[in-house]
Structure 1
């Protein structure tokens, strides 16, 4: 069993891990090891924006599913997670949303010192290279390219117009002074191609002699010397190896895998670990507080040509030569944020619209032109859990989100579906809406809730399982041990309002400063 020493070891080369590896290795005197369980991000489907659903249930995906969900009448739900350089930023819809200012101020009010909006905002700016240049709300010159979408499908223009007919204001910038309204999303794209954190952060750092990247290398447990974490054990091509961290190990494996690795290493709910034959080291609520944005879809058939016909030799040539055309579409081109009750402090629903049928969670085969729009619940009160299935690192974790397990979430689901039905019934969309492919039987509370239970799926935004406060402190250090931090979406005390890739990058940017003592 070989062993090699580094200063910092980062586990997981995803949205956070690539950022951390790049930032920490900026110091030429620091040796950094980045460990990624998946392969190199060399699939064409990663680069081509519209092709990301083809990565589902392949070697680039952890391919998780929930346990039977009590609030969904026992149904399981698919949970894709990126398993390659760039992690889920290599297989997401590339929507750039920071979350609402109120989200971070709520963290600070709850005790998360240093994580209020005014304190995290500079890290968003540092990361960003915005298409409009530097401004009050945007940064320029950062690693992450943020662009306007280069595919504006006519169906999406009609959807935005229908939303305006329904009374929702147009907004040109969901990351500006106010989040509310409808419009077109900005994307993490560069020249029409995906700009993952592997592209933005890791690739420019790869030539540094002090940065080592291991792919196809699964971390199986943490190594300890007393109460200090001193390294990791890694399985690679059937061989086990140990790597020593002279300063720190940072887990950036995501809201499912970071808690799994902690629990495999004896950090978690003591009684549950002992029942699996794992000696408890620190009794912490690891894996608790699991949150997500549940998504409620409607699909309408249309006589208008959708993205179904986008993949042609001509469009592929247009993408390759000019970075333009329908293959640059991220799918969810349009959407917005709405409040479904008066007096809410911030939006409670996010809308997404796609000029194609996102059938069976992106894996269904269809030959029909359609458009899809959905509503995600942003302020859920349901809480789930990640736990171990067994003490074997190769066993997938047990994941239960407990979707719609509270009366508040069930009522929000009914209100959210009514928002979608209202937009679908406006003249701008009526002109394109031939028939309904997936829709509730009626707009009664009973039928809407039954529909939500049957059709709800994840928007793929898990968070909260190693939360600041209960599991890590506000410098992201794991309680009860030394030499170990967590830096990914799992540290969010509560889920932010919006897509989680940009906030996860922010967390990693801030974590790099915390680790460097800045």
Structure 2
């Protein structure tokens, strides 16, 4: 059952479970719910943030408010100042509460490229090649195009995660796709099918025009509006507003966690295993706060070293992104104007009536996967076309005025690597995050190419006939010939697209944190199951892969326990 944190009678947590899962994000919801399918075991799912019972989560347009600022559902971290970004810090929103980042993300459903997972297998991660993980993508998915079917080789029709076509695509999204075709890109109606390259409309994690986050998929049995509904699984306790402070480790074995809820601190023990699903920032933070990580760093914070594991917090990778925007006088686009406000009011009435229209939009309705060089084997750049003017959080304030559209261009497989470190031993303090953006020159080259590709698409008739003026990028010279001006623009405007991974790397080398079974090296009874285990960043959005990791983790755990009980 789900026990709300504001209920005084429910602040205490049961003292012991078979499995304790920390973090109710995309992976955590999946692994906890799948483990609880075995009615002979008990599972606790602990989440620092609140319930997802809120309009800002269910209504797609709500992401405009939740993703932009700190609040009960957004940690809103910042990185250390980045030399590659002219000394600017990078904003790093992370979901807080049931559903994690799937409650505040752009809802784009993309899995990455086949080669990404085959590379994991080639690095020694046996069982993580594309053919190994595809069944978990399919098992998790209920794709609107294939609902009720089992015969599609790429998609699932019965899973808990609803994936849909947009109910009311904006005319400018169609304009973008047509402009991309005019610029020479192929049409792609399914970025998760046989081929990734091309332009098209994204599918989204929505159902009947509402956001379908991981909590709704795995915890609420489809009804997020009932705060106590949990699919009738009495062996699964979902506990929001429960801040885990550290792991309880005895004789190199994880025995539980120390947690505080409503001011009451207690130990929750795990008879079998503890699973960390706190994400790329908080999973390594919790390991280090518990004495598992680089010994010197832990000692500098007064933490007793339980396991010297130098890879904890290393290998941070993220999709770095640059945005080109264009101001256009059209109320079809989102923006600040009298006409825009009237259209929004009308859109809210339409959404209340039939869950369609502009309020059901995820803003980034269309996009593309492109190659910056024709000899590349796979696309190395993703485009996301947004129906509003965007700028980073420190510059380009004039892009907030009026209406327009924007296009993200981000590097799919960056070479820059950073790390996560502790600021203190207290899990309630934000970690130190340093992605070292643009520390690899190849990343700059890819973003420069991305700016040129986006501007070429913007110049095609399908978009150009709508008129308008580019902001900040209209002085790059004929044919974008001013290379240094473009590089300066990238340094002053690039930012994260919010896909951090890799800080508890899976592998068999000296810097690996978990093995291919997701077991933490050197500690029994402890696994990590979230995007932090990715050895390399996949070529696409990270929500669907995180859910896949949770699905597969549950099978790995069950298989090991069956073997132990023989």
**Smaller-chain TM-score bracket:** over 0.9
Q: How does 1:105-120 map to 2 (within 5 A)?
A: 105-120=118-133
Tell me, yes or no, if the aligned pair for 2:257 and 2:269 is still in contact at 8 Å: yes
2:421 counterpart residue number: 387
User: Which residue, 297, 301, 308 being the options, matches 2:327?
Assistant: 301
| SS of structure 1 residue aligned to 2:29 | helix
Q: How does 1:8-407 map to 2 (within 5 A)?
A: 8-55=19-66, 56-133=69-146, 134=149, 135-204=152-221, 205-284=230-309, 285-305=311-331, 306-308=333-335, 309=340, 312-360=344-392, 366-407=400-441
CA distance in 1, matches of 2:472, 2:51: 37
Tell me, yes or no, if the aligned pair for 1:160 and 1:182 is still in contact at 8 Å: yes
2:9 counterpart residue number: none
CA distance in 2, matches of 1:438, 1:245: 55
TM-score by length of 2: 0.89
With over 3 angstroms needed to count, the CA separation of the structure-2 counterparts of 1:182 and 1:472, relative to structure 1, is same
With over 3 angstroms needed to count, the CA separation of the structure-2 counterparts of 1:498 and 1:2, relative to structure 1, is closer
Tell me, yes or no, if the aligned pair for 1:3 and 1:241 is still in contact at 8 Å: no
What's the offset of the Cα at 1:2? 7.8
| SS of structure 2 residue aligned to 1:84 | coil
CA distance in 2, matches of 1:202, 1:440: 48
Of the structure 1 ranges 168-177 and 55-64, higher mean CA displacement relative to structure 2 is found in 55-64
What's the offset of the Cα at 1:426? 1.4
What's the offset of the Cα at 1:438? 3.6
CA distance in 1, matches of 2:29, 2:173: 33
Structure 1 position 445 matched with structure 2 position 483? yes
Structure 1 position 494 matched with structure 2 position 556? no
1:429 counterpart residue number: 463
What's the offset of the Cα at 1:422? 0.8
| SS of structure 1 residue aligned to 2:185 | coil
What's the offset of the Cα at 1:419? 0.6
CA distance in 1, matches of 2:414, 2:102: 24
Of the structure 1 ranges 412-421 and 106-115, higher mean CA displacement relative to structure 2 is found in 412-421
With over 3 angstroms needed to count, the CA separation of the structure-2 counterparts of 1:283 and 1:394, relative to structure 1, is same
Of the structure 1 ranges 421-430 and 63-72, higher mean CA displacement relative to structure 2 is found in 421-430
Tell me, yes or no, if the aligned pair for 2:48 and 2:96 is still in contact at 8 Å: yes
1:202-251 Cα distance to aligned partner (Å, 9 max, x none)? 11245311111111111110001111000001122222111000000000
Tell me, yes or no, if the aligned pair for 2:199 and 2:368 is still in contact at 8 Å: yes
What's the offset of the Cα at 1:361? 5.1
Tell me, yes or no, if the aligned pair for 2:392 and 2:493 is still in contact at 8 Å: no
Tell me, yes or no, if the aligned pair for 2:392 and 2:494 is still in contact at 8 Å: no
1:506 counterpart residue number: 548
What's the offset of the Cα at 1:394? 1.8
- Over 6 Å off, 4+ runs: 362-365
Unaligned runs of 5+ in 2: 1-11, 222-229, 561-566
1:423-463 Cα distance to aligned partner (Å, 9 max, x none)? 11112111223112242631222111111111111111000
Unaligned runs of 5+ in 1: none
